[in-house]
Amino acid sequence: MSKTRVLTGITTTGTPHLGNYVGAIRPAIAASRGENVESYYFMADYHALIKCDDPTRIARSRLEIAATWLACGLDPGKVYFYRQSDIPEIPELTWLLTCVTAKGLMNRAHAYKASVDANAAAGEDPDAGVTMGLYSYPILMAADILMFNAHKVPVGRDQIQHIEMARDVAARFNHLFGAGRDYFTLPEAAVEDSVATLPGLDGRKMSKSYDNTVPLFEGGAKKLKESIARIVTDSRLPGEAKDPDSTALMPIFTAFATAAETAEFRVALADGLGWGEAKQRVFERLERDIAPMRARYEELIAQPGHIEEILQAGAARARAMAAPFLAELRSAVGLRDFRAQGIKAKGADALKVGKPQFKQYRESDGKFYFKFLDAEQRLLLQSGAFDSPKLAGQCIAALRADARLAEADRHLLGEGVDMAEVERALAALAE
């Protein structure tokens, strides 16, 4: 059974917060432990350049994010763990995709539209402050995903549109250049519904842009405690019944607690637990999970050279997949080695040397035939006559599905066929 490829990126601006952990890092790491998955997790540092022109922050943040994923339990031996900017095939693919992406599709991107709307509201030029990086953001993201033909992309809700755009772009490329072959898998967004977005201190979605975040490791236990103390609650006094759903405390607690712990906490609030005491409980529950990870984080961040080695090894593994695939894509769009084209001018089929192939054709008797050639283009099998190309095609399909079954159909296949050779060539073709 082939594995499900799961891929996600984190933009390396800022410092990881609880929302990143609960919404992206934790579910991604849990998923990476599954038997039937192949995971690709990376630092989206090219995306970071779109949002941030402070080199010190960029440099700091990608190190922190790498250390965070490792500290949270990511196993770089099991997953592909790399920096986007270490994979030159990604910007190259971005260009191939840019050339098939409708401008109108990008006009509809939420992030771009939000900037335009903000400009309109401020009476500015609609495109004030909008870079081409921001505008093309979804194409770079599509390249991240399509480069590795990811099936599932764990993201927050705000990113679903980008995955849909990646699908559109992939389908367009397949349609234009696939010639019957789908180069790209159409990816699907995977949003963990229960905890996809965590509220921040003020109850709105926890986000750097709202400045309402609780840092995951930064500032240590002290900072975690202080941040939780700042979560907005109402003014009910200890002893008064609280509405557990009136504050961000509840979902933050829930994101870490078991169902039983959550139920118990709800009851305590309804029974009049003071907010101060409630915040202490939240802190303690979070700290139980976070403290051991924080200790690993501090150890890692003290050895940046070690993290660098892990990431370079990850990039080498990822490029071993990306480079040959990109070579195929270049060829698909017509960026081909001239020597291969020279051969093609002499005989169109010579281009396919190295792969077994079926050839269908029509004879002067008006009937349809096919041949099966091995990698050296030697004839392995010569079909009998078919009344239509469709019937010939069906026989090829039957042969590809099960050579032995098709063999029974002797009147369709010529005599003296070496079925062992045919089967070997079919297996090579299937690879």
Cα dihedral: 218, 223, 228, 229 (round 10): -160
Least Å distance between CB 199 and ligand TRP?
18
Least Å distance between CB 108 and ligand TRP?
16
Least Å distance between CB 7 and ligand TRP?
6
Least Å distance between CB 192 and ligand TRP?
14
Sheet holding 357-362, edge to edge: 357-362, 368-373, 379-382
Least Å distance between CB 142 and ligand TRP?
8
Q: How far is CA 339 from the centre of its chain?
A: 35
Site residues (vs ligand TRP, CB under 6 A): 7-9, 11, 44, 47, 141, 144-145, 153, 155, 159
Contact between 17 and 214 (Cβ < 8 Å): yes
Which residue lies nearest ligand TRP, judged by its C-beta? 9
**CB neighbourhood size of 326 (10 A):** 19
Considering beta carbons, is residue 13 or 383 the nearer one to ligand TRP? Answer: 13
Considering beta carbons, is residue 153 or 300 the nearer one to ligand TRP? Answer: 153
- The identity of residue 219, as a single letter, is G
Report the C-alpha gap between 172 and 164 in whole angstroms. 12
Q: Locate 394 and state its tokens.
A: 């069906």
Alpha helix segments (H runs only) across 271-375:
275-301, 304-333, 338-346
Q: How many residues does the chain have?
A: 431
The β-bridge partners of 381 are 372
Sign of CA dihedral 230, 232, 234, 240: negative
Least Å distance between CB 24 and ligand TRP?
7
